[in-house]
Structure 1
Amino acid sequence: MKNPQLTNFVIFLSLIVSLNSCKNSDKKPTETNTEKETSKKAYASDVIPFFNHWNLILGDGSNVGPAVNFEHKDYFYTSTDESGNWVVFKSPNAGDTHGTSNNTRTELAQLKKWSAMTDAKLSATLKVMNVSATGDARVASTHSVVVGQIHSADLHENEPLKIFYKKFPGQTKGSVFWHYEINTAGEDNSKRWDYSSAVWGNDFSVVGTTENTYPEEPEDGIALGEEFSYQIEIKAGMMHLTFTSNGHDTKTFTKNLIQSEYSKPSDIPQQTQDLFFPIGQDGVEREIAYAEEGLFFKLGCYNQTNGKSPEVNRNWCSGAETFDGDLQKQYETGNYAEVWFKTGDILVSEDAYSNEGYFLKND
């Protein structure tokens, strides 16, 4: 005869096991959802939410357009370190270039143009993670990358501002400097030149004495991976620049964009005579400089090192290793530029935009 107490106990035990099994079954979907939420991809437009204002050019020469919810594993993606999320821009020494440039870029170009009389502002916090490991040290642009620009959309399409970072191989600290390119008088733009101003470290003109020897490392320079910030503000025809970095003096500069200081041969500075006169670039600037032209901001990683022979141009042709354009070999050997942006902000008066509306210029 069956024992009623034993039967009841078995039924009770089975019920407990069944309930626990249901509870565990209920937990699994919740855990899976949590894992999915944790591993959700962060796009660049999540980190710096201003990408509707720009078109993105990649290091393979392609035009992505506005880079909202976009990434490319070779050129443009996000990364995380102990301080948070960053937007990564990478450009090899060689690849398909955009427009008439000799250099590759992964770079944002602002969608609308504005005049030098506009209230306009661009600010960013960034760190440069790599510049080319090879190149002729006598060439001023070698081992450098441009991380911010103002570009003209009209006439010669020159650049009243380029912000550079440059570091020689084997050195810990590099230099930050900025350039003003003259808006050449007349129709011939071949005689244009840049004037370089040091922020931390040296300016563009400090080069090696031979292909593989380097100038002294700057004491007040910026290391790879070290954060710095720039702010570009345009107001009533004047460009105001502010550069900041922890542990470094804040540096400020002002430049008139609508009245040239280089309109006569006697105005041309010695730095230009030393760097650009030997290659036939000895022009003067329009008296009104960049007045009456549409301007736009650019931001990203515009690699200034390329594989062209220095015999072509001793300021801009680096003679660097390119492995015939093989992207992965360039990345494996350090022959590329890489810049991480932590923050970015743009402000341009809406009523100051040109009636011509949207545009994209390439260089």
Structure 2
Amino acid sequence: MNHKKTIITAISILVVCVFPLISCNNSVKKKIEKPVYANDVIPFFQHWNLILGDGSNVGQATNYKNENFFYTESDDNADWVVFKTPNAGDTHGTSNNTRTELAQLKKWYPKTADDKLTATLKVMNVSATGDARVASTHSVVVGQIHSADGHENEPLKIFYKKYPGHTKGSVFWHYEINTEGDDNSGRWDFSSAVWGHDFSVVGSDENTYPAEPENGIALGEEFSYEIEVKDGIMNLKFTSEGHPTKTFTKNLIESEYTSKEDIPEQTLKLFVPIGQDGVERENAYAGEGCFFKLGCYNQTNGKSPEVNENWCSGAETHDGDIQKQYESGNYAEVWFKTGSISISDTAVSNQGYFTKND
């Protein structure tokens, strides 16, 4: 009997001693979740430099995140890349506006181009404050074509804009003239509505908003764009579930704005009164290297509308304090689900642009 008790006691001691080791070993082997980076969601970041909302140039954002400006999120449908930027902070280049945005590492020439950019996104926030009479207030640019040469103007900017209190916002795109001559101060944009209003629809006074667009896009509602430039022609396509597909075509190498008589009525109303009444070079953007941009280029800022009635918003900036701006809704935030870029064989390095602007 004593012998049996000894065996039982030995087994009990073995279990007591070994089981905690097994449990501890299992806890050590517990799987550590790998961070999800932007390039895990959209694998094309080797083609871009990333500019952050504090004005810094990150370079190629592979295995990179920044909790203030650039990171990933998930919802019930997908993983997303988040681009976020406040109303005020250190800006990049000569711009008045902050951006968390990708800039293409190569540039291509419209006449020989065969280049394409696509994206699916949703805008999650635009600034809560700003002067309702200022056309750029409460808006964000989510895609661009930018010139790297000459005046460095923009043949394409894709906007989303929503006024406070409205459920629906507007999507529209701009063509900026490539101003003739050395003086670029007379440049202006022409805006085309996709869903909702165009850029020119503004409030009657500082705090009175225009009517809400009937066929607009809500915050958090997905839409997609395709930009293709081939043989001098820019083709645009916009799609969103429940909305009509919209397409547009624009010649980038032959101007339609070469005389004062060509200036559109919209421009006469919006830009000419503030002295932006230039004309365009006959060959528009021909001969200039252009490149794509994608992200969150906040169009609301804290500068007084007295400086420029179209681009200076008079919005709240909390003296540049980023966290206070985020807490009070004074920022822009855009989530991207998909993106793709196709680059022609004729594209060349865009390093000169970054050298000039960083």
| Secondary structure at the counterpart of residue 321 of structure 1 | coil
C-alpha distance in 1 between matches for 2:38 and 2:11: 56
Task: Identify if the C-alpha distance between structure 1 residues 63 and 21 changes in structure 2 by more than 3 Å, giving closer, same or farther.
Answer: closer
Offset at 1:76?
A: 1.1
Q: CA deviation at 1:21?
A: 4.3
The match for 1:29 is 28
Pairing partner for 1:81 from 75, 80, 90 = 75
Any conservation in 1 of the 2:134–2:309 contact (CA below 8 Å)? yes
Asked if 2 retains the 8 angstrom alpha-carbon contact of 1:123 and 1:230, the reply is yes
- Is 1:9 the counterpart of 2:4? The answer is no
Q: Report the alpha carbon displacement of residue 362 of structure 1 after superposing the two structures with TM.
A: 4.5
1:324 pairs with 2:319: yes
* 1:131-161 superposed Cα distances (whole Å, 9 cap, x missing partner): 1111110010000000000000111110000
CA contact (8 A) 1:139 1:318 kept: yes
Q: Which deviates more from structure 2 when the two are superposed, residues 15-24 or residues 54-63?
A: 15-24
Per the alignment, residue 147 of structure 1 pairs with 142
> Residue in 2 aligned with 1:186?
181
Paired residue for 1:254, among 232, 249, 253?
249
What residue in structure 1 maps to residue 88 of structure 2?
Answer: 94
Per-residue displacement from partner, 1:56-90 (whole Å, max 9, x unpaired)? 11111111111111111111111111122211111
Distance 1:124 1:30, change over 3 A: same
- Structure 1 residue aligned with 2:54: 60
Aligned positions of 1:287-302 closer than 5 A:
287-302=282-297
* SS of the residue 1:7 aligns to: helix
Of the three residues 214, 232, 251, the one matched with 1:237 is 232
Retained in 2: the 8 A contact 1:111–1:359?
A: no
Aligned 8 A contact 1:112 1:358 in 2 = no
| Match for residue 111 of structure 1 among 105, 111, 131 | 105
Residue 277 of structure 2 is matched in structure 1 by 282
Distance 2:240 2:277 in 1: 35
Mapped partners of 1:235, 1:294: distance in 2: 14
Q: How much has 1:329 moved relative to structure 2?
A: 1.3
CA RMSD of aligned residues (A): 1.7
Query: In structure 2, how many angstroms separate the alpha carbons of the residues matched to 1:341 and 1:356?
Result: 24
2:152 to 157, 180, 188: 157
Task: Single out whichever of 183-192 and 165-174 deviates more from structure 2.
Answer: 183-192
Q: What's the CA shift for 1:355?
A: 6.7
Over 3 Å counting, the alpha-carbon distance change for 1:12 and 1:63 in structure 2 is closer
Q: Is the 8 A contact 2:168 2:218 kept in 1?
A: yes
Give the match's secondary structure for 1:331.
helix
Q: Give the distance between the partners of 2:349 and 2:306, measured in 1 at CA.
A: 44
Instruction: Write the distance in 2 (CA, Å) between the matches of 1:140 and 1:359.
Output: 28
Q: What secondary structure, in the 3-state scheme, does the structure 1 residue paired with 2:210 have?
A: coil
User: What is the TM-score with the length of structure 2 in the denominator?
Assistant: 0.95
For each residue in 1:220-244, what CA deviation from the matched residue of structure 2 results, as whole angstroms up to 9, or x when unmatched? 1000111111110111110010111
CA spacing shift, 1:218–1:287, aligned 2, 3 Å = same
Q: CA deviation at 1:23?
A: 3.5
Matched letter for residue 74 of structure 1: N
How far has the Cα of 1:25 moved from its partner? 3.9
Quick one: which of 258, 265, 281 aligns to 2:260?
Answer: 265
Asked whether 1:48 is paired with 2:47, we answer: no
Letter in 2 for 1:121: K
Assess, with a 3 A threshold, how the Cα gap between structure 1 residues 354 and 4 changes in structure 2: closer, same or farther.
closer
Deviations along 1:234-279, whole A, 9 cap, x unmatched?
1111001011111111111111111111112211110011101100
Between the aligned partners of 2:205 and 2:351, the Cα distance in structure 1 is 48
Deviations 1:68-126 (A, max 9, x none): 11111111111111122211111111111111111111111111111102100000111
Does structure 1 conserve the Cα–Cα contact (< 8 Å) formed by 2:106 and 2:349?
no
Give 1:327 shift: 1.2
Q: Secondary structure at the match of 2:337?
A: strand
SS at match of 1:250: strand
Residue pair 1:122, 1:344 contacting (<8 A) in 2 also: yes
Give the aligned residue type for 2:98.
T
Aligned residue number for residue 201 of structure 2: 206
